[in-house]
Amino acid sequence: MKIVGIAACTAGIAHTYIAREKLIQASTSRGHEIHIETQGLAGTQDALTQKDIDEADVVIIAADIKVNGRERFKNKKVVEVPTGLVVKSPNKLVEKLEEVKV
């Protein structure tokens, strides 16, 4: 499965990057491809391309704030969760994403 998404926390520092790393680790350990864009004080990093989005099976938005660029995910399955959930239970979240894809 191909997963894309955005991670963004209130401060745009710690939880943003922790959530991104946890998602990547949990997804790749289960054999999925993943690309997570981060948004925060440092601006947008690892920006998703339109090709990334077009090829994705599911989109995850792990955010505690309003994220930019939601319109890019029109007609995609989008799962929205707070960053804290990703930090605490990344494997369970990836299992849920697998269910959404089906």
Residue 56: both structure tokens together: 């994705």
Residue 47: both structure tokens together: 């920006």
Tell which residue, 31, 3, 35, has the closest CA to residue 20: 35
How many H helices and E strands in the chain? 4, 5
**What secondary structure letter does DSSP report for 47?**
P
Which one of the listed residues 3, 6, 9, 60 is annotated catalytic?
Answer: 9
Reported residue count of the chain is 102
Active site residue 9: yes
Active site residues: 9
